[in-house]
Each structure stands twice: as C-alpha cells, then as structure tokens.
Structure 1
Amino acid sequence: MSAWRKRAIECLPESRKEFEAPSTSIYGVFMELLPATIAAHQNKDQVLLKQYYDFAAWCFSQKSKDLWNAAGVSFYEHLGDRTETLQAMHLWVSRDIYLEIRELLKQRLDDTIMKELDGRYAVR
C-alpha cells in the first residue's frame, strides 16, 4: 500500500475501504478531506485539524506531481470558499505553502480578501 494511502487512512479511518480501493485517487481522498476539515473547524477539533492539515502539507511537499497538485487544487485552493477555513487558514497553513498557493487563491478570491490574507502572512 502506498504511503499516501496509509496516511489518508490514518486521517480518515472511516473511509478506509474507499481509500484502499485501487480506483480511489489522491484527488478522491482530498474530496473527502475538505468537508472533514470544514466540520473539524466547526467543531473546533484541534486534534483532527492538525491531522488533516499535516496530511495536506505532507502531500504538498512530495516530489510526485499527483500528490502536490492534488493538495493544491483539491484542498488548499478551496480553503477560501468557506468562512471557517478562510478565517483560520493562517493558523494552519504555513507561510511557505501560502506563497506557493497564493496564485490559486487569487483566481478564486477578490482583492479585499487577498489583501487580508496577505496581511496575515506578512506578504507585501
């Protein structure tokens, strides 16, 4: 079993069967992880939030384009879609990752929100 599948199952053990299926891609994992992350924000579950964001950061740091691209376009890019994730992004997403995903966010968010995010990350 691949490292990303093992890590995904650790994050969302209730999705084990789905994540073990050969037809499930890393993109499918992030389609499950994003709503779970939103729910964890709503429930203020710091333990799950740490697991979820750590998994996304791990994927984003991998050499495999499938992994880092999936983290970017199926997870990080969508953090600006919901108030829960947008307001807490700077607490969970490192500045280094923010700088790399900034253009993805810029395509989806208006200038006012981008200025707020840039301020939280001290980007000029």
Structure 2
Amino acid sequence: MSYATSCRPSRACGAAAGSTREELEDFRRSHLDPLNVQWMLSRLDSPQQLATHDEVEQVPLATTEVAAADGLVQRVLGALAHAAPAVREAVGIFMAAQYTASLAAEPLYIHPDTLLRRLTRADELLP
C-alpha cells in the first residue's frame, strides 16, 4: 500500500492509502492514488482523517474524470465490460429481479437455464 500524509495548520495530520496493484505498469498509479485521495479530502474540506483509495475511487464516476472512471470499470468488471450485450443485459435484469433466475428470465423471453448459462459466462469474465 502507498501512503500520503498531510498536515494542515487547522487540523491534525491525516493519511490516505492507495490501492494495491498487481501489474508493474500500475506501479506509478499506486503512488498517485493516495495523492488523489488526499487532494479530494482537502478539496471537500472533509473532517475524515484516514481514507483509502478503494473507499473514494467511485467519485470519478460522478465527475468529469473520464480516464479514471474507465480505469475503475476495467478493474471492477474486466472483460465483462465488453461482453456480448445479451450477457450484460442478463446480469442487469438478474440484479433488478433481486437475484431470482425465474423472475429475470421472463422479461428476457428465455428459459431460466439459459439465463444461468449467461450468468456463468459473466462470472467467467470477471477479474
């Protein structure tokens, strides 16, 4: 884990922890993550003294940081982000049907076993 600390005159010291990375190319990113957390906490004037990148990494989805949002989607969804539309649709409807295969299969006009095969494929595509 990478750490960045900050001491503000009006507050005690705070710490921000970056996410761990598996690939060598992501080494630099693992050092920038805690700096981004630190910047975000100070910008929001947050009283929180400790935060991890994993806790706040969804913030770019609500901002204009398209590259950061794309990186988050890739890390969380992996190949599922680019799967066949039928597979992605099956996952979304299954979740909306509160994880009940028989209810999710109806609006898709497919047999529940077909839905389960698509969900198995989706699970295989996750990192």
> Going by fraction, where is strand more abundant, 1 or 2?
2
Asked whether the two chains share a fold, i.e. TM above 0.5, the reply is: no
Which structure exhibits the higher relative contact order, with contacts defined as CA atoms closer than 8 Å and separated by 6 or more residues? 1
Instruction: Give the TM-score taking structure 2 as reference length.
Output: 0.31
Structure 1 or 2, whichever has the larger Rg, is 2
> Going by fraction, where is helix more abundant, 1 or 2?
1
